[in-house]
Amino acid sequence: MRIAVTTGHFEPNYYRSNEYLICEGMAKLGHKVTLFASNKHPKWQNSQNTKTVLETTKCDGFLVRRLFSGPEVGIMPSMPSLLFHLLRERFDVIHSHEFFALSSFQSAIVAEGKKCRFIVTQHNDQLPTSSVNRLLYLSSKYNFGKYTLSRAKKIIALTTDIKLHLIRMGADENKIEVMPTGVDTRIFSPQKRNFLEAKWGITHPVVLFVGRLVKDKGIEYLFQAFSEVVHEMREAKLVIVGRGPQENYLRILGRRLGLRNVFFLGALENKIMPNVYVGCDVLVLPSIFEPFGNVVIEAMAASKPVIGSYVGGMKDSVVHAVTGFHVRPRTSEQLSRYLTELLRDSTLRKKLGENARRRVLKEYDHDLLLKRMESIYLE
């Protein structure tokens, strides 16, 4: 099959996105895949260079076409030339991401005109924070977003919450299939060298956070909880992987709380993350909202228990008291209690970690999900 994937942003070095995994997997299955993305870096990357060059490159078996980024429409960059590029090539399937994006609307128009299959994946179930972007997002329910959803043969929701959001936005429930982002369980596995100890000298017990350093991740509540943990376990360490606008605030908060064993490692390339997960005892993601949470299933694949807020994708991925623990968002009391319990009890950590690995192998393995996606393309 000839497959076109359209998305606003694409940053494969630091984030193995749903789009990347689909393209890389389909290319391995022998399909010809082209991904169209803007040449603009996403805001979360905090890059000094806001744009990349306009080019076509090869990435792990598939083509990436970087197109000129026009004005942002809502929260996604527009790509004025996308329509031309899709029209001039022949595709059997066009797969767009985020129903409200202008690129998805353009993809739907081309798919309708050229009579090829059209699929859309929705990653998000949260309304934009700014009033202007929120208005644009909600209005898409009645204009180009409505057209996109109506033309899709299948709508993929990454989580149950996203499925409910799509229904509220006017999608046909019969078209929606819940299919999470997968993880390569051969790469993310317990049998990896521990880089936290080998490269940075950080030894157990280790609490790990991975993600953007932004307010929505609820990291300040993790710091407050960890300050309670170290009263009883002085040897405990907190490792922070990621960058963002809250970094300076968190460093100051750590000093204010008297935390000495906090390590900021910055943004690490995705290729070394399997070696980071194996070095921790528990992953914590205390997000206020979290549409999916890739880091959760990556840590679970490495046989690590996860403590996560009962929000978004973690409602699906984390099974309370089986693969880890759910906590209320914006609180530190439950978090400190479960952290102390897990760090003290190696038998419990091992049991929950093994359960986590089994759950990922059954529900989130990339190869299994790829076969499901391929069958949708072929339907």
CATH number at residue 344: 3.40.50.2000
Let me know if residue 189 belongs to a domain.
no
Let me know if residue 73 belongs to a domain.
yes
Say if residue 97 is in the same domain as residue 208.
no
289-299 pLDDT, tens digit each: 999 999 999 99
Say if residue 247 is in the same domain as residue 114.
no
Residue 9's pLDDT is 86
Say if residue 225 is in the same domain as residue 342.
yes
Say if residue 261 is in the same domain as residue 203.
yes
Say if residue 58 is in the same domain as residue 147.
yes
Question: pLDDT > 70: what percent of the chain?
Answer: 96
Let me know if residue 34 belongs to a domain.
yes
Say if residue 177 is in the same domain as residue 211.
no
Domain count, the chain: 2
Range of 199's domain?
195-363
257-280 pLDDT, tens digit each: 999 999 999 999 999 999 999 999
Say if residue 163 is in the same domain as residue 265.
no
Let me know if residue 289 belongs to a domain.
yes
Q: Indicate whether this model's pTM tops 0.85.
A: yes
Task: Count how many residues are written for the chain.
Answer: 379
Alpha-carbon span 195 to 274, nearest angstrom: 9
Say if residue 223 is in the same domain as residue 173.
no
202-254 pLDDT, tens digit each: 999 999 999 999 999 999 999 999 999 999 899 999 999 999 999 999 999 99
pLDDT at 78 over 90: no
Say if residue 213 is in the same domain as residue 358.
yes
The answer to whether the CB of 70 falls within 8 A of the CB of 79 is: yes
Let me know if residue 187 belongs to a domain.
no
100-126 pLDDT, tens digit each: 999 999 999 999 999 999 999 999 998
Say if residue 9 is in the same domain as residue 123.
yes
Say if residue 98 is in the same domain as residue 228.
no
Residue 47's pLDDT is 47
307-332 pLDDT, tens digit each: 999 999 999 999 999 999 999 999 99
